Chain A
Amino acid sequence: MAEETMTLRVTRYRPERGPDSYLDEFDVPYREDMVVLDALNHIKDDIDGSLTYRWSCRMGVCGSCGMMVNGMPRLTCSTYLREFHPEPVVIEPLESFPVIRDLVVDMTDFLEKLREVKPWVIREREDAVEEGEYLQTPEEVDRYKQFSMCINCMLCYSACPVYAQDPEFLGPAAIALASRYNLDSRDQGRSERDEVLGVDTGIWDCTFVGECSVVCPKDVDPAAAIQRTKVSTTTRGMLAAVWPHRGRR
């Protein structure tokens, strides 16, 4: 019996060869338990070693292998070909990012935004290690846990219609991570982060389309983080105006 195959149409772009990209077509052997990344690896290993993409853990946690799969931002290590078989599947670089080569996008913008929101514990006074751990009950962990699950895969930026229009927008993952620290009982840095979140390109840019939460492979729900921050920023702003010593936690 002839081996079953499947067709992949893959974006190729080489900056040395001019500004245009095109779709290249490859037929790969098909098995029901193959993921999109397996097919890309087959192409690179056995057909065309110049196909360029990022990957590493192949278990959905390193966040490297996000691409557009038939128009949706997906982790290619966790997206099965059987979802599309026998139809061809189209693989393109994540939308809304500059492309470096083929399926590799430039994510330096995110790295800068991540640093801007100060994703570390801020305290007025840091205890010495010898003083032991800060106590935190399981319930207190649960308050921020969901927002700590972000793997920085960039699918949410790719899905976000606001980021597509306005690259200044802080974006879903960075805001979710700011919320992760704001909600952590050990942290006292909310007011510092609010200076970054409260501007026009912070939370207020978000029009609450919610696509970020739809595409998130880790159920982080950045849209909820943004909505929460809008509510709490407004409330605390109002409280601060009428009652200056409240509103800070």
Chain B
Amino acid sequence: METIEHDIVIVGGGAAGLRAAIAAAEVSPQLSIALVSKVYPMRSHTVSAEGGAGAAVGGDDSLDLHAFDTIRGSDYLADQDAVEVFVAESPGEIVQLEHWGCPWSREPDGTIAVRAFGGMSVNRTVFAADKTGFHLLHTLFQTSLKYERIVRHDEFFVTSLLVEDGRCAGVAAIDLLDSEVRCITAKAVILCTGGCGRIFSFTTNAAINTGDGMALAYRAGVPLEDMEFVQYHPTGLPGTGILMTEASRGEGGYLVNNEGRRFLEDYIPSKMELGPRDILSRAIIQEIEKGHAFQGPYGEYVHLDVRHLGERTIDTKLPFVRELVRDFVGIDPVHEPIPVRPVVHYMMGGVDTDLVGRTRLPGLYAAGEAACVSINGANRLGSNSLSECLVFGARVGRKAAEDALDAQPVPGNPVARLAESEQERLVGSYLEKDGGRERIAAIRRDLQAALEKGAGVFRTEESLRDAVMAVRALRERYRAISLDDRGRAFNTELVAALELDNMLDVAETIVTSGLVRRESRGSHTRRDHAVREDDRFLKHSLAFATTDGPRIEYSDVTITRWPPAERKY
């Protein structure tokens, strides 16, 4: 078996992974840094982020105000020390990206422009029209090409963490070209693999968002934190789930029901369309339940109306919205309202880390959507995630680099043996497996339907319990899968099977954490426990893997300067 030695291995090439790679490269020219990704980095899901990156850069803004908005938005579940670090370092990261060439939209005087976003009390979302993630990702990727010590392993799929003597010492990864496992050793492994929206049937997320890093860490004994908190974005296109950016409301767009009324006046009159995502998604579902929605072939929906902004504003501030609606709905938002409904968008939860991205497993780190620091608590504010990727990507890259410079060499032989047994597992359980007749896509569809039904915008004891049972039954069915594709060259069915394995694990943590959190907080809304209960649940949930499924523990929330209060807007 081929062993590839590096000092640092970063899994995932989106915003957090690329930012970590550059930060690590700048610590020392002696470090060899591997960027391992199942897709070419510029295909990473960061590319689909639209609206912008939050940072207190405006003249009327302050770090404390950004922190307070974030904490209130989180329904007081965010760790306030993490939020303070986050707001303090976001503005510098925005400038750093600017220096690297990111085409931020500008004010007439040449300074970086900011726009309004939901739950933010002032304009603080930095943007590049409405393709912010695309530009940010390509800027980071192109800048990373400067550093020869960043070595890319494109289209490698990581199948397990190599843990030797209580330390993460590398990863086993298949090269898609030949489906052979490579043993990639490192003194530090950083998971930047993004979210897992694909475990739901209706999502903005790309095909690649299957919770790989979360599952890798979970199986290695690291807890997944706050997994019950799933963000539904209020405005996705029915059918495809394609995101209509919050910037369309930030720029002045309206949400309208079938009576032609801006119904948010019944729910959050002080903020209207600029309310936080959890509240707006609930409002839309309630409008649907009241019979105030439109009927369409892909379910009920409300209207996002930007017509009054005019063609000129739409073309300069929201060109991608116009392009997407034309291409995928077949209407022009300059002349017609856009059909939208709430759609799974983002995971507040993830791999439990400290403020520099370290997990409980020495040698293992995480950042970005895959991680839970936690700055997002029970509900993330729009535009905080791109900044989070930059701030905590940079922090984890620097920390992992410092640690790697001090670390002992990886014990080569025992680690290589771990990778060899991984190769045997893949051949025995997948490529040369006998018997079985379950199709991957069938199990995946049933999983997605179970999560959609049981862990939606509104949840109950019964819906979550049913979902737990459904996921367990699907895990049983998974044992009987059979691949059509037994070839070794670019076997995407093998990858899909391994992704489904990850999705099943992550899904089980979501529904189990949700079942035992018997309160409503942020995005986790229980019809049978409608109020927030700080006495019992001002706590982070931690899901640990056991042979009987997740075991849920709780840990304290860090409160610094903002005592928990009723969340009012």
Enumerate chain A interface residues (CB-CB to B < 8 A): 14-16, 33, 44-46, 48-50, 52-64, 78, 100-102, 104, 107, 111, 114-115, 118-121, 126-127, 129-130, 132-138, 140-141, 144-145, 148-152, 177, 181, 184, 186-187
For the complex, what is the distance from the CA of A15 to the CA of B48, rounded to whole Å? 33
Contacts of B323 in A (CB 8 A): 60
When each residue 126-170 of chain B gets 1 if its CB lies under 8 Å from chain A and 0 otherwise, what string results? 000001001100100011011000000010000000000000000
Q: A48-B484, A129-B99 are in contact. Are A57 and B42 (CB under 8 A)?
A: no
Q: Is there contact, CB below 8 Å, between A186 and B101?
A: yes
Q: Is there contact, CB below 8 Å, between B106 and A134?
A: no
Q: Among the listed A16, A62, A104, A135, which residue makes an inter-chain contact with B111, where contact means beta carbons less than 8 Å apart?
A: A135
B426 at the interface (CB under 8 A from A): no
Q: Is there contact, CB below 8 Å, between B177 and A119?
A: no
Total residues of chain B contacting the partner, CB 8 A: 63
Q: A50-B484, A64-B43 are in contact. Are A59 and B324 (CB under 8 A)?
A: yes
Q: Could you list 22 examples of A-B contacts with CB < 8 Å?
A: A45-B439, A46-B439, A46-B441, A49-B484, A50-B487, A56-B207, A57-B45, A58-B242, A60-B323, A60-B327, A62-B42, A62-B44, A62-B45, A62-B47, A64-B43, A120-B100, A121-B101, A121-B143, A137-B108, A148-B135, A150-B138, A152-B40
Q: Is there contact, CB below 8 Å, between A121 and B493?
A: no
Q: Is there contact, CB below 8 Å, between A59 and B95?
A: no
Q: A52-B490, A120-B146, A132-B95 are in contact. Are A111 and B101 (CB under 8 A)?
A: no
Q: Among the listed B95, B206, B484, which residue makes an inter-chain contact with A58, where contact means beta carbons less than 8 Å apart?
A: B206
Contacts of B44 in A (CB 8 A): 62
Q: Is there contact, CB below 8 Å, between A62 and B487?
A: no
Taking CB atoms and an 8 Å cut-off, the chain B residues in 70-97 that contact chain A are 92, 94-96
B58 at the interface (CB under 8 A from A): no
Contacts of B142 in A (CB 8 A): 114, 119-120, 177
For the complex, what is the distance from the CA of A112 to the CA of B370, rounded to whole Å? 30
Q: Is there contact, CB below 8 Å, between A129 and B95?
A: yes
Given contact pairs A63-B47, A78-B327, a sample of 18 additional A-B residue pairs in the complex whose CB atoms are under 8 Å apart: A14-B487, A14-B489, A44-B441, A56-B39, A59-B242, A61-B134, A62-B45, A63-B43, A111-B40, A129-B96, A133-B95, A133-B111, A135-B110, A136-B106, A140-B110, A144-B103, A181-B101, A184-B101
For the complex, what is the distance from the CA of A149 to the CA of B103, rounded to whole Å? 10
Contacts of B45 in A (CB 8 A): 56-57, 62
Shortest Cβ distance from residue B313 to the other chain A in the assembled complex, whole angstroms? 14
For the complex, what is the distance from the CA of A138 to the CA of B110, rounded to whole Å? 7
Q: A16-B489, A49-B439, A184-B101 are in contact. Are A62 and B43 (CB under 8 A)?
A: yes
Q: Is there contact, CB below 8 Å, between B177 and A100?
A: yes
How many pairs of A and B residues are in contact by the CB < 8 Å rule? Answer: 163
Shortest Cβ distance from residue B77 to the other chain A in the assembled complex, whole angstroms? 30
Q: A59-B242, A181-B101 are in contact. Are A64 and B489 (CB under 8 A)?
A: no
Q: Among the listed B327, B487, B496, which residue makes an inter-chain contact with A16, where contact means beta carbons less than 8 Å apart?
A: B487
For the complex, what is the distance from the CA of A125 to the CA of B105, rounded to whole Å? 24
B548 at the interface (CB under 8 A from A): no
B328 at the interface (CB under 8 A from A): yes
B208 at the interface (CB under 8 A from A): yes
B485 at the interface (CB under 8 A from A): yes
Q: Is there contact, CB below 8 Å, between A59 and B328?
A: yes
Across the interface, name the chain A residue whose C-beta is closest to B146.
A120
Enumerate chain B interface residues (CB-CB to A < 8 A): 39-40, 42-45, 47-48, 92, 94-96, 98-101, 103-112, 131, 134-135, 138, 142-143, 145-146, 154, 177, 206-208, 239-240, 242-243, 320, 323-324, 327-328, 439-441, 445, 483-485, 487-493, 496
Q: Among the listed B112, B177, B439, which residue makes an inter-chain contact with A133, where contact means beta carbons less than 8 Å apart?
A: B112
Across the interface, name the chain B residue whose C-beta is closest to A121.
B101
Q: Among the listed B99, B109, B242, B445, which residue makes an inter-chain contact with A127, where contact means beta carbons less than 8 Å apart?
A: B99
Q: A45-B441, A62-B47, A63-B42 are in contact. Are A134 and B146 (CB under 8 A)?
A: no
Candidate in A14, A54, A181 with the most chain B CB atoms within 10 angstroms: A54
Shortest Cβ distance from residue A105 to the other chain B in the assembled complex, whole angstroms? 11
Contacts of A14 in B (CB 8 A): 487, 489
Candidate in B131, B142, B493 with the most chain A CB atoms within 10 angstroms: B142
For the complex, what is the distance from the CA of A133 to the CA of B101, rounded to whole Å? 10
Shortest Cβ distance from residue B93 to the other chain A in the assembled complex, whole angstroms? 8
Contacts of B240 in A (CB 8 A): 58-59
For the complex, what is the distance from the CA of A29 to the CA of B567, rounded to whole Å? 49
Q: Is there contact, CB below 8 Å, between A16 and B488?
A: yes
Q: Is there contact, CB below 8 Å, between B324 and A120?
A: no
Candidate in A63, A101, A134 with the most chain B CB atoms within 10 angstroms: A101
Contacts of A152 in B (CB 8 A): 40, 42
The 4 closest A-B pairs by CB, nearest first: A135-B110, A45-B441, A49-B484, A50-B485
For the complex, what is the distance from the CA of A209 to the CA of B108, rounded to whole Å? 38
For the complex, what is the distance from the CA of A83 to the CA of B94, rounded to whole Å? 43
Q: Is there contact, CB below 8 Å, between A57 and B488?
A: no
Q: Is there contact, CB below 8 Å, between B47 and A61?
A: yes
Across the interface, name the chain A residue whose C-beta is closest to B490.
A101
Shortest Cβ distance from residue A160 to the other chain B in the assembled complex, whole angstroms? 20
Q: Is there contact, CB below 8 Å, between A58 and B489?
A: no
For the complex, what is the distance from the CA of A49 to the CA of B138, rounded to whole Å? 32
Contacts of A78 in B (CB 8 A): 327-328
Candidate in B45, B109, B445, B489 with the most chain A CB atoms within 10 angstroms: B489
Contacts of B208 in A (CB 8 A): 56
Shortest Cβ distance from residue A132 to the other chain B in the assembled complex, whole angstroms? 6
For the complex, what is the distance from the CA of A105 to the CA of B297, rounded to whole Å? 36
Contacts of B489 in A (CB 8 A): 14-16, 100-101
Shortest Cβ distance from residue A67 to the other chain B in the assembled complex, whole angstroms? 14
Contacts of B106 in A (CB 8 A): 136-138, 140-141
Shortest Cβ distance from residue A176 to the other chain B in the assembled complex, whole angstroms? 12
For the complex, what is the distance from the CA of A58 to the CA of B492, rounded to whole Å? 17
Q: Is there contact, CB below 8 Å, between A33 and B239?
A: yes
Shortest Cβ distance from residue B145 to the other chain A in the assembled complex, whole angstroms? 5
Shortest Cβ distance from residue A75 to the other chain B in the assembled complex, whole angstroms? 10
For the complex, what is the distance from the CA of A148 to the CA of B136, rounded to whole Å? 11
Contacts of A151 in B (CB 8 A): 42, 47, 134
Contacts of A101 in B (CB 8 A): 487, 489-490
For the complex, what is the distance from the CA of A101 to the CA of B501, rounded to whole Å? 24
Contacts of A45 in B (CB 8 A): 439-441, 445
